[in-house]
Amino acid sequence: EVQLVESGGGLVQPGGSLRLTCVVSGFTFSDHYMDWVRQAPGKGLEWVGRTRSKADSYTTEYAASVKGRFSISRDDSKNSLFLQMNSLKTEDTAVYYCSRLSAYYYYMDVWGKGTTVTVSS
Amino acid sequence: DIQMTQSPSSLSASVGDRVTITCRASQGIGNNLAWFQQKPGKAPKSLIYAASSLQSGVPSKFSGSGSGTDFTLTISSLQPEDFATYYCQQYNSYPLTFGGGTKVEIK
């Protein structure tokens, strides 16, 4: 069974940092691009960023709202995806989901349950 | 950035109704469009990709159509488990963008 499990969320003060982890199972992690998507309370979905696979040199893409503050990485040996969040702002408060990209069509075909990040003083 | 505009933002429907949700892109995206269903407190679930292809395991009452800038999601016969919020998303170019969502409620 394909599973994605996020962890690392919590309460952090503005300006602080947090590192989210997504551990996957049930598929060959190294073959897939992976995305992070977030959802602020009561709001819609917002794409955060992407890491490509080793075959595409682990290159990354980011939304303008997080570029320069957030960094996506992965450890294929540990089936793990990471989101390093620095200089956090109150508007980064959201549920953060990791998602797998389909190998051929590059759409988000499987999602984790999410982890909640609250940025508040 | 490509803006995705969904309509309506909410609708009330009865069990058994046929429901259609529209998504419009601010510029052409080919067929690089996905639809997701989200229930309260849950993660989104993939329904449709490539505008009209059904995700494995999703019932055939869901269908998608369109290309270019105009797309639709249709639920042929609404069931109680279908009451949820539906989002379209373009994956043609960065940044990836979602529509604002359509909340389907019970009449």
pLDDT in tens, A28-47: 999 999 999 999 999 999 99
Rounded mean pLDDT of A67-74? 98
Q: Does A44 contact chain B (CB < 8 Å)?
A: yes
| Helix, strand, coil share of chain A (percent; to 5) | 10, 50, 40
Does B34 score more than 90 pLDDT?
A: yes
Partners of A114 on chain B (C-beta within 8 Å) are 43
Task: Give CA A11 to chain center in angstroms.
Answer: 17
Strand A10-12 and strand A115-119: the pairing is: parallel
Q: Does A27 contact chain B (CB < 8 Å)?
A: no
Residue B94's SS3 state is coil
Q: Does A7 contact chain B (CB < 8 Å)?
A: no
The minimum CA-CA distance between B22 and chain A, rounded to whole Å, is 16
- A-to-B residue pairs, Cβ atoms closer than 8 angstroms: 56
Calpha distance B51→A110 (Å, rounded): 17
Poorest-pLDDT segment among A5-9, A70-74, A105-109, B43-47? A105-109
Best residue of A62, A67, A107 to probe chain B, by most B CBs closer than 10 Å: A107
pLDDT of residue A104: 86
Q: How far is CA A52 from CA A9, A40, A81, B35, B36, in A?
A: 23, 25, 11, 22, 22
Mean per-residue pLDDT over chain B, rounded: 97
Residue A38, CA atoms < 13 Å, CB-side half-sphere: 23
Does B62 score more than 90 pLDDT?
A: yes
For residue B16, what are the contacts with CB-CB under 8 A and spacing of at least 6? Answer: B77, B78
Determine the residue of chain B that is closest to A45 in CA distance: B98
Backbone angles phi, psi at A55, to 5 degrees: -55, -25
| Helix, strand, coil share of chain B (percent; to 5) | 5, 50, 50
pLDDT of residue B107: 87
Rounded mean pLDDT of A112-117? 98
